[in-house]
Amino acid sequence: PWNTPFWIPFKSGVPSLMAGNTYVIKPAPNVADTTFLVGEIFEEAGFNNGEFQTALLDNEQSSRAIADPRVAGVTFTGSPVTGALIAQQAGAALKKSVLELGGSDPFIVLKDAPIEEVARKAVLGRVLNSGQVCISPKRMIIDKSVMKEFQKHAIKFMDLVKFGDPMDETVNFGTMARQDIYEKVQAQVEEAKNIGDQMVFQKIHDNASGLYFPPTIMQSDNVDSVLRNDEVFGPVLVLIPADDEEHAVEIANSSQFGLG
């Protein structure tokens, strides 16, 4: 996928190659060059007889590749809509498939937790890759008795997030990858605000440019909020109050999304 073009080829490619298979990857169009670089790394490691191959395919060509008898299985990381189509095609060809289709990970904070340190890690996890990570914590489910304390520390750490040149090692935040992703996150936040979710904090960087979406903290008390029920693929930390541990687990399990 476009957001982790180095990680995925190694995660699925290494075990496939070690088992004696050939690995063919179709990268997202906007990160194709990165995948070719990964191929060079595999060649340097000794897989230099075509075991690792990059294929630049359109949708129709991808469908034909899935049906090809030489292909034994398919793995895909991306949207649920595309994943459903790939699962359908793999099933029709009686081939195994492994699908990773987004996530809205619960991050439960109980009253006996070290709140300041937990808030720091929650913020770091949420702004990683500008919030564009499927396995990052997205729903912060907080015991009501420590919500105010958690908010205070989360705001403090969110305010420290630094935007700028990605080659600067002190920078830990950048822009969104595409216009459509930026617009979707913006629409999700606006929809949540319209039904009563509260914007707790938003960090505006003076040097912001490009597809910049400001690091944001929202609190959602509405079970129907899009922030609870959809994947928010951007730097939005969602705080959800819970009455107790049992209630927190109930909220965590109320989403169709997994991962983490």
Element holding 179 (H helix, E strand): helix 179-194
Contacts of 247 (CB under 8 A, 6+ apart): none
Strands 137-143 and 96-100, bridge-based pairing:
unpaired
Catalytic member of 40, 134, 190, 245: 134
Instruction: List the 105-109 sheet strands across, edge first.
Output: 105-109, 137-143, 236-242, 216-219, 198-202
- Catalytic-labelled residue, pool 40, 43, 44, 100: 100
Q: Is 100 one of the catalytic residues? A: yes
Distance CA 107, CA 143 (A): 11
> Would residue 250 show up in a list of annotated catalytic residues for this protein?
no
Q: Taking Cα atoms as reference points, which of 150, 151, 171 lies closest to residue 162?
A: 171
Q: Going along the chain, which residue ranges are E strands?
A: 23-25, 52-54, 73-77, 96-100, 105-109, 137-143, 198-202, 216-219, 236-242
Q: What are phi and psi of 97, to 5 degrees?
A: -140, 145
- The structure tokens listed for 132 are 């564009």
Residues annotated catalytic, as ranges: 100, 134
